Structure 1
């Protein structure tokens, strides 16, 4: 199944998506299509007409599914996309002269509207994404730069190019906001304002880091081919439920020296391999604990811990509380909401 998505910010964007499902959106901003326990959810926020739009996507589908953003034959618009999947997703960025393929569970993708972007989602696994589409002149105005300048700064070169450029993981995104915060089931009135403010910050923060990214890549001599090999290794060997092989083995799979592999991995994912793998485990553990469907022992065992004590220790170090405290605090918040709906 292929769903075509828009590139230009539009107030009828969700209606065009819903039409492909043979239905209509719940509102101008929300589309939710379900099939049994499976779903395709989109939430669209038009920040400025024809200039800036944010789309939150939540997918859990039972058959092969891809979303396609077709080229509009110009680089007047740019898309900044953050994706988090339970299993690796594939994204293909294409134009007449260039083709990139990214395969990862976490990815940040930045590309012009002259590129076609085709994302293939994992089957029977949840994927969430945030895409921010903005007009090139708008972002230049906000950042105080001239897109027609003849200087060779990384930002100007980027905005004048036609090729998609992808960067590492989602550390920039996660530093500012979590997926769980944006994809909450309870949305107070302040949620919309919060999403808008956070996305403004994401755009400015990301664009401001372009020069740093390109400088680091040059300093360490990390080519796109180097980064692609490391991302392929991450995709194959870093599932949270698996034991991580030795770094020497992983470096060999990436066809790199150990030193270069560690530096390139940190450049892409913002953490050392073992730290990154541990964070994957603990992020999943936290989500499972909040669902309150399994015991702490079952979750610890599923993630490869031989004892509850060792699991409790690493969990508390990351979240500053043990699993039991997290469950109790979450349960208390739920009870408060039920007992006090009028905020008395």
Structure 2
């Protein structure tokens, strides 16, 4: 089953577009999946004229693909939170990545002109909470040009951003799920508050990118190249290729690659590689199958003291202390 959609003028129209393809209609700002297709629901809430909260929870009986088509100049910007425990595939052009609540890419915010699609395995429960805001709200703020999100939107350049779901976000997301499933008399008011809180936390996290002063006008090829480089890094964590070598693989200059990588992934290449190495080290230690020195050598450190210091700086605990705490 394939469900196709795109950014449109009103979020309400999006719900109608999707419901029709499921063979049903919208009632009370949502719809239930027909029993012949699967189970679950799609539901929207409207906290403010410029903000929509969408909560999706479904299971399909057959494989499903959702396709987001490219549209130019849409004012509506989605912030999608992958809250399902089952990971699924997100496809951008020829690049495929695995996303879910516990991945480093648990959130993504795209402009409307870069297409993407998601594939869902049958008979597995999937959930998604999306905040969709009208960019006029940001652009009309007096301080818009002083914020990362304001500069990004005012630039009118295409973008594709990823972020990680933080513990604070997870707490709010859990609250949204609980409230949405309740019939309490003031649940809509609670949901409105949670939506504002979640958006605020996300924008504050995004603001940490504010040191990026120039914004690349990314196209689909740029995004695909960044994913190729990301995959190469993940495949070679114990001996990460040099920037010039990665740039050759991306068919970009070193400076353009570093700029595009940080814009898409949210971290500089070196910072990203280090974070992945340290997460790998933590996973290895958690198995209790390796000593600290074995883990250090396994992830590419010839000097054990260098590994210990890097681990301490990243995780705020020495690897031996972490191992002993397990």
TM over 0.5: yes
Q: 5 Å matches for 1:240-259? A: none
Q: 5 Å matches for 1:139-288? A: 139-141=138-140, 144-146=142-144, 149=145, 154-159=148-153, 160=155, 161-178=157-174, 181-182=177-178, 184-213=180-209, 222-223=268-269, 226=272, 230=276
Q: Gapped runs of 5+ residues in structure 1?
A: 274-313, 315-344
Q: Secondary structure at the match of 2:110?
A: strand
Q: Could you tell me which residue of structure 2 aligns to residue 12 of structure 1?
A: 13
Counterparts of 2:41 and 2:312 in 1: how far apart (Å)?
37
Q: 5 Å matches for 1:107-118? A: 107-118=106-117
CA RMSD of aligned residues (A): 4.5
Q: Could you tell me which residue of structure 1 aligns to residue 245 of structure 2?
A: none
Offset, 1:244: 8.1
TM-score by length of 2: 0.61
1:110–1:5: structure 2 CA closer, same or farther, 3 Å change rule?
Answer: same
Counterparts of 2:318 and 2:43 in 1: how far apart (Å)?
34
CA contact (8 A) 2:88 2:120 kept: yes
TM-score by length of 1: 0.58
CA contact (8 A) 1:111 1:165 kept: yes
CA contact (8 A) 1:11 1:46 kept: no
CA contact (8 A) 2:51 2:132 kept: yes
1:206–1:37: structure 2 CA closer, same or farther, 3 Å change rule?
Answer: same
Q: Could you tell me which residue of structure 1 aligns to residue 55 of structure 2?
A: 56
Q: Secondary structure at the match of 2:16?
A: helix
1:155–1:24: structure 2 CA closer, same or farther, 3 Å change rule?
Answer: closer
Q: Write out per-residue CA displacement over residues 30-52 of structure 1, whole angstroms, 9 at most, x where no aligned residue.
A: 21114379414100123445x32
* 2:42 is the alignment partner of 1:42: yes
CA contact (8 A) 1:86 1:125 kept: no
